Amino acid sequence: MPSRYGGEEFAVILPQTGPLRADLAETANGALATAERIRRAVAEVELPLPLTSDGLPAHITASVGVATLPAHAVDADDLVNKADRALYTAKQRGKDRVEVYVAG
């Protein structure tokens, strides 16, 4: 269930996607794998017109923060807060990436 969350931000609620695991193969139906699929899909968008001043095609990227209940958060507000922290970590680490919330 995607929805606009802020100016340039969207939230995607993924019920019953399963817990996050260290082994990506085990997360095929999980939030982390879905977040990475969304990030890749955004990166693959071909804009119909060049949007840069030098006439080259513009590229869209997505930074994604992932948090899950109950592994990272105790309620909906906490979940949004933790996902937001993970999002800002993704932005700080170079953008166009997926980061999972880590306490601390």
Residue 68 has pLDDT above 70, yes or no: yes
As beta bridge partners, residue 10 has: 4
> pTM value?
0.80
* Backbone angle region of 16, left / alpha / beta, with phi > 0 → left and psi within -120 to 50 → alpha: left
Q: What pLDDT digit, counting tens, does each position of 71-91 carry? A: 888 999 999 999 999 999 999
Q: Which of the residues 8, 44, 46, 99 is marked catalytic?
A: 8
**Closest to 68 (Cα-Cα) out of 7, 6, 12:** 12
8 given a catalytic annotation:
yes
pLDDT band at 27 (very low <50, low <70, confident <90, very high): very low
